[in-house]
Structures are given as C-alpha cells and as structure tokens.
Structure 1
Amino acid sequence: MDHPGKSRLLEQARLNSTVPPPTAEAQLAFLAKIQRLFAEGDFTATYKFALLISLADLAVEVGTDDGAELTLTNREIADRFVQLYWRHSTPYGTGRADTQPGVLVQNLGDQAAVLTAICEYRASTPGITVQQARTEPSYAALLSKVATVVSAQPLNYLQNFGGVTDTFLYERSGRGAIALKPGVAYCLRRFYTLVQQLSRTHWVDHIKTNRRNHTIIGDAGDLEDFLFSASRQSLAIVGAELRKLDGHRCFYCGGNLTGADVDHFVPFSLYPRDQAHNFVLAHPACNRSKSDTLGAKPHLEKWLERLVTKSDELSEIGALAGMASDGVTANRVAIWGYATAHTAGGRAWLSATSYEPVTQSYLALFYT
C-alpha cells in the first residue's frame, strides 16, 4: 500500500541519524527556558501564545526526530495564525442576561491587528470557512497582512524575557523565514503537549483578565472550547458525512451504529488540532473506553488504508466542515504520536480493557 508522503518519510528516516538529537541536559535546559519565557515574558497580546502553538504544530507536522534545524517561512506561520484566529473573529456569547456577545479583545491596547484583518476579510467574503478561504485568490492578500504583523511583532519579541533577548528558539533566516535552532524542533516534538497546554492556558487567562472582555464572557467556563475546538456545528457536519462515507458501523468494533461519537483517532489530548482525516465514527462506549489512548495495530492498519482509499472524500468533508484536511499531515502526526508512545513505553487500545505495547512493528506500518 502506498501511504501519503511515503517517499519523503523514507528519505527523512534515512537522514535522521546524520544529526544527533539534543542531549538530556539540553532538553532540560530547553524546558527551563520555556518556563522562564512564560514567567518572565511580556504578554501584551495573545500573539506570542499563537506563535508558540504554531511552531510546535509545524515541528510535529514537518519536523523530524533528530537535532536538525528546521526552516519555516513567515507565510507558513501566518497561515497558522489565520487558522487559529479565524473562529475568534466571530462573536462569543454566553447567553446570560448579564453579558453581551462580542468579538473577544486579544490585546491590551487596540484590537489585535491580525484579528482585525481577518474580520475585514470575512466581512468581504461572508459565509466562507477558513479552509474555503485558503483556496481563494484573495487569501494571498490576507496572508501577506498577517505575515507582516507576525514578522514585526511576535517573531521579534517572543524571545525577550527577563530583561534580555535569548535567541534559544530561532534565528532569522534570510528574508521572510526563520530557522529553528538545532535541537529545537526535536524538543518541540518531544514536549509538544506541555507547550500546547501552557500556551492555551495562558491564552485563555490573558483574555479573561482583559477588563474589556468582562461584559462579553462574565464567568464563562467554556472559553477554551470556543477558542481552540471545532464548533458543534462543524462536528455535526463531520458526523453526518462520515456516516455517508463509512456506513453505519463503528470504526473500532464494527458493530452497527445507532448513536455515534465523532472520535479523534490520534487523541485530541495528544494533538489538539482538528483534522478531517483524523476523525472516525465510534460507538460511545468504544470512544469512552479508548479515551486518550492510541488505537492498537488492527485499528492503525485500517486507519492507514482509509487515508489512501478515502483521502479525497475526507478532504471534501473537511472543506464542508471548515477544518483542516490534509492526508499527508494526518499521516505525519500519527507517525509522531506512535513514535512518541513507543519511546515512552506506551500501550495502545485494542478493545475494552484490552491493550498492547506500542512496538517498533507499529512504526514499520508507516513505511510499507
């Protein structure tokens, strides 16, 4: 079976041994500086959180498990900013009488320029989803605006903390790009969940403590879901379309579906970004039992085959639901997830109360 990105993955696997990963001491030093960045950095807007999330996502999706540098363009990063802030450009409302729906303010001064640019773009193209927007010729102008802001602001200031500039994450690499320094992409992949959790938690806190948002959010507790998760409407679209595509059987146990959950095959807790190619339909009981674990080998084999045979259809579902839909990226995220579990001695879910170790044979499935 010819899986997406197979030739590129084989080439990267061959090259991985050429640049050794960072030492344990270097990894601990990286974590210490990440902690200092959050503790000692100046966060006047939410851009720095978005930048950290974007760098971590891209390290997982296009990086490798070695110590090599990773070059990323400003436009690649800007595209992630648009995807992160797209939903934020719609009014948030709690439905409570003591609050008033509105677009959340994400800067201590004027509204964040990235959010303003997205709001203006959406006003000129009403009803469009972010994935549809990315296929439009007019999207290039929006991307240029956002890339300019990203370059001038968070890329310039993220590494300023404790009164000094410490370029431990990246250097500017020519015009319109940065280079993650040796070992940084590895560490972002290795500590991805921690970087995500810290960034998202601080992002939510930043919005909650901005007094101009108090009349919008009140004491709402679901702000994180609004900021970072797919909407219920999008998930309903995914569920309905997956029934048409895959039929009325649970992806895991094969039993007939009456009620069904839309499940993240690679758990959302591991990789908190909604990807159409990562969704499957499951019995609620199977979904609860699998929970935050990876699927065992029979499930992985089935999922990989589905990536090949139904990739176009899954992309269409993503377009309808307004979420990312890229089979190659989904494949690379799964490789990273299973490799991380293998290194940590993790176990994969087979069925209720049944698990098995994630062995090297799991990783071999991605290269056959």
Structure 2
Amino acid sequence: MSCAPSAEEQLDFLTKIQRLFNESDFSSTYKYALLISLADLAIELGKDDDSLLKLSNRQIAERFIELYWQQAAPYKDSGSNESTILFQNNGTQAAIIKAINEFRQQNNCNSSQAARGSKNYKKLVTAVAATVAKQPINYLQNVGGGNLPFLYERNPSSIILKKGVAYCLRRFQPLIQQLARSRWTDFIKKNTKNIPILGEKDDLNSFLFETSRKTLALVCKGLKELYGNKCFYCNKSSSELEVDHFIPFSLYPRDLMHNFVLACSKCNRSKSDTLGAKIHFDRWVKFTTNNSEAISKIGERAAVSSNLEISLAIAKWGYELAINNNVNFWINSGHYEKLNISNLFR
C-alpha cells in the first residue's frame, strides 16, 4: 500500500535538493529548467503518496519548449538577430534556444501552444528531447564531484521518479520553483555575453518568466467579452478590471489561460496571494468547465497556453496543499474560512 514519505524522508529530500543547487556544476540553465519541469509534471501527473512516476523524454521536452519559448525571442526590440537573444550557457548559444528560434522563424506560430498545431512540431520535440536526455537528465544528479541519484532512474526514452520523489516535488514545488527561477535569472545576469544585451534595464525576471502586459491586455479583453465587465469574486460591475491568477502565481508560477479571471482592484488587492474560499472555488470550476472552449480560444488569440485538465489538477494540488497546512481561505476583504478536503472535492 502506498503512503506519504515520512517527515525524515522529506527532510532528506530537501537536504539533497539543497546540495544539488549548491554543489552542482551549472554550465547552462538546462538543469534549472529540468527541475522546474519535473516539479510541474509531478503536480499534473503524480499522486500524494510514495508511488513511482514515469515521465517520457518527450513530455519533459514539451515543457522545455514552453519554458524557453519566450526566451528564444530577442530580449530587446531591436530586430531578430542572434546577438539580441540571451545566452543560456557559458559557451555558444544553447542548442534548445537555437532549435526553438529556428522553428519560430520557419513556422507562423506566436506561442508554444500554437506551435503544437504545426506539422513540424514533432520534429522540434524530438530534437529537444535528444538534447534533454544527453545533457540535463544525464548530469543533473552529479553533485559535488560524485553522483547522487536520488531523483530518478534513466531509461533510453524516459525517466522514472523514485519512490517518494513525486510526492516531495509536489509538496515542495513552490520552493523548488523559486530557487530554480532565482538561480536561472542570476546565471543569465552573470554571463558576460549577456551584459551588452541586458544594458541598464531591470526587467529580466519578468521577460524570462512572466506574461507581458500586452498579452494580459488581450486576456482581459477576451474575458470581458465572455464574462462581462464584472469582478469574478464580488460579481459587481467595474470599469477597471484586472487579470488575476485564481491559483496565485506565487504558489504556482506558470501562466495558463484557464487560471485567469477578472477581478476589481479591491478584491485583487484583498485576495492577494491567498486561495479563494469554497464559493469561489466552486464557481471557478463551473465557469472554466462550461466555457473551456471559449477560454482556450482567448488563449490562442493572446498566445497563452490553455489546458482545462491540467488547470484543474493544479487547483486540486494547490487546495490540498493549503488544507494540509491549515491555511485560511479568502472570502472577501477581512473574511476567511477553513476548508477540508471532503467538502471541497465531492
């Protein structure tokens, strides 16, 4: 019978993750991308027990394409020459960046979501999967001059997350994401080849990992057409609606179209980084399920990835994590409630 790893096993996992960040040789950003990808896939496909989880190289490659898609574009609005694309390793430009950039130039796709519909997408996935298998999967568990194989076992076309690893990745995903993204940003800043590209601007983290204001404006317009000029939370009309992450970005820092709702400034500030109460959760599930196709079309126009099944899995993970940590759930300004899993997931 599968069960959750013990407190000691979870602490041991965190200790090894810390060693990985501190003692590994990071000659590119690939290892950071792999850690983020494994944590995301564990949330989407894993369970809250100590069971194994098999992930194909192609599944991981598709997540790499999504992570690097925006970063394969020029950092500055100064044309599309190679010199304006940020360097992701200490040598020549990273192979995955080159592959995605070439794909972007040869195919009329404005997002990784749109790329999936291209006849050449499978070829891109194959190329990225080969690089992922040869490099970060092969070397991620090399720590301090030795090998620390605590995360997974390798196969020719897949990896198998070891007993308890998927659970720990799910449990500590926010921490792993924060560490990986912070180190990723620092790596790019410290690369001397990027200094003339970065200049004096201080928006690197936003460029690497966040949705642009232009994209959010398109999302806002589309949701207004679908839902009207009303706040999702208080249901009051407002002329100044803002795009809000229903599952807070601080908890799960990845933009998915089904996770976006419109909120008035008062509700958005009050809710902040908390999870909504049961009334909001139930309304969100009903709204996204009933309008899934329309929401996906907004995502296509705005170049934002959309997947209802994944968004629901992320929400379930986030709420279960919060309930297990005994947090309060936001109703409205100054009002919160406790939830339990049995009355939330029925």
In structure 2, the partner of 1:291 is: 272
- 2: distance between equivalents of 1:255 and 1:101? 48
Letter in 2 for 1:329: I
Structure 1 segment 241-280 matched on structure 2, within 5 A: 241-280=222-261
Matched, 1:180 2:161: yes
TM-score, length basis structure 2:
0.96
Contact 1:94 1:217 in 2 (8 A): no
Aligned to 1:87: 70
Which amino acid counterpart does residue 118 of structure 1 have in structure 2?
Answer: I
CA shift digits 1:231-285 (9 cap, x unpaired): 1121111100000111111100011020110000000000000010000001011
Does the aligned pair in 2 maintain the 1:63–1:186 contact within 8 Å?
yes
Q: How many residues get paired?
A: 343
Answer 1 or 2: higher relative contact order, Cα 8 Å, separation at least 6. Answer: 1
Conservation of the 8 A alpha-carbon contact between 1:335 and 1:363: no
Residue number among 232, 236, 252 corresponding to 2:213 in the alignment? 232
Q: What corresponds to 1:153 in structure 2?
A: 135
1:104 matched to 2:86: yes
Quick check: 130-139 or 332-341, which moved more? 130-139
CA contact (8 A) 1:92 1:101 kept: no
Gaps of 5+ in 2: none
Equivalent in 199, 216, 222 of residue 197 of structure 2: 216
2:344 is matched with: 363
Select between 309-318 and 65-74 the one with higher mean Cα deviation. Answer: 309-318
Name the CA distance, whole Å, in 1 between partners of 2:184 and 2:201: 15
| 1:72 alignment partner, SS class | strand
CA distance in 1, matches of 2:340, 2:111: 40
Cα deviation 1:64-101 (Å, max 9, x = unaligned): 10100000000000000000000001111399xxxx98
Q: Please identify runs of 4+ aligned residues in structure 1 that moved more than 4 A.
A: none
Q: Normalising by structure 1, what TM-score?
A: 0.91
Matched, 1:169 2:151: yes
1:141 to 113, 123, 135: 123
Equivalent residue, structure 1, for 2:110:
128
- 1:151-182, CA deviations, whole angstroms, 9 ceiling, x for partnerless residues? 00000000001111111000014x31100001
| 1:341 corresponds to which of 318, 322, 328 | 322
Who is 2:4 aligned against? 21
- Give 1:222 deviation, angstroms: 1.6
Q: 1:31 aligns to what?
A: 14
Q: 1:101 to 1:231 in 2, by over 3 A?
A: farther
- Distance in 2 of aligned mates of 1:118 and 1:205: 22
CA distance in 2, matches of 1:92, 1:26: 42
**1:218 offset after TM fit, Å?**
2.7
RMSD over aligned Cα atoms: 1.4
Cα pair 1:93 1:101 within 8 Å, conserved: no
Q: How far 1:128 sits from its partner (Å)?
A: 3.0
Structure 1 residue aligned with 2:310: 329
Distance 2:57 2:341 in 1: 36
Decide whether the 8 Å contact of 1:160 with 1:166 is kept in 2.
Answer: yes
Structure 1 gap segments, 5+ residues each: 1-17
1:307 equivalenced with 2:295 (yes/no): no
Kindly provide the CA deviation profile for residues 308-334 of structure 1, in whole angstroms up to 9, marking residues without a partner as x: 210111111111121221111110100
Counterpart in the other structure of 2:48: 65
